[in-house]
Structure 1
Amino acid sequence: MKCTPPDSNRALPVVLRTGLLLPCALLDIVSACFFLFRSELTMAVNLNNYSLTDLQQLIADAETTLEKRQREKRAEVVAQMRKLAASVGIDFEIVAGETKKRGTRVAAAAKYRNPANPGQTWNGRGPKPKWFKEAIAGGKTAQQLAI
C-alpha cells in the first residue's frame, strides 16, 4: 500500500487498521518489509513428515475448526441481515437451519430364525433369505419360524 498524501508531504500521519498512527514514510518501510518477508511469515508445513495418525488428527482438527468458523460466519451474516432488515422495518425468520448429523444406524432385531441353523436369522426386511423360502415351501409357516 503506497501512501501518497496530497502535496507530497511525507510527514502526514496515517492511521492503520490496527489503530497505529504512523508517518507515511514509516508506513512505506513497514509495507516493504512485510512484502519482502511475507514468505517467512507464513507457516510452511511439510506433510510428508507426519505419521498417518498425526495426519488424521490434523484433518479432524481442521474440519472441527472449519465447522466452527462457518457457524460463526453464518451467525455474523444473520446478525447483519437482521440489523439491515430492522433498519427498514422488516422482520424475518430463517427457515433453513443447520442440518443435524444422523446418528449411527442400529440393525433391526431378528424376527425369524432358521430351525436347521439357529445362527441364521432374518429381520423381515428386504428379500426373503433362501432358507426362509425353502422352509415355507417345505410346509412351515412364518409363525413357526418366528422368534
Structure 2
Amino acid sequence: MDERKRDSMVAYLRRRMAEVGIELDDLAAAIAEDQVRQKTARYRSATGETWSGDGEMPQWLKQAISAGQSMDHFAVALASQSVPETRSKVDWREDPFAGSRLAAAPTSHRDL
C-alpha cells in the first residue's frame, strides 16, 4: 500500500473513531484482549476462529470433524510447527482460486 493510501485510511479511521467515541486506549485494550484470547486458543480454523478447548465444541469444529477431519489438524501448536520458518510468505489476496478446490490440488499436480 502506498503512503498516500495509508495516510488516507488512517485519517478515515481517526474520523470514524471520533464520531463513535472510540479512544486510542480503547483500541489498544481491544487489541491486547484479542492477543490474549489468541494465545489461549488450542484450536484454530483456517478462517481464524478459535476455541480454547473449554466448554461446548464450536460449530465450525463439529462440522470439520463430522466431515472426517482430525482435531489434531486444528491444534495451534501443530499448526505453528508444520510451516517451516524459511518458507516464503505467499499473498493469496490476488489469487482467483484461493479457497477453491483448485487451490487444494495435491502437491504433485501443482509442480507440473
Q: TM-score, normalised by structure 2?
A: 0.33
- What TM-score do you get using the length of structure 1 for normalisation? 0.25
Select the structure that is richer in helix.
2
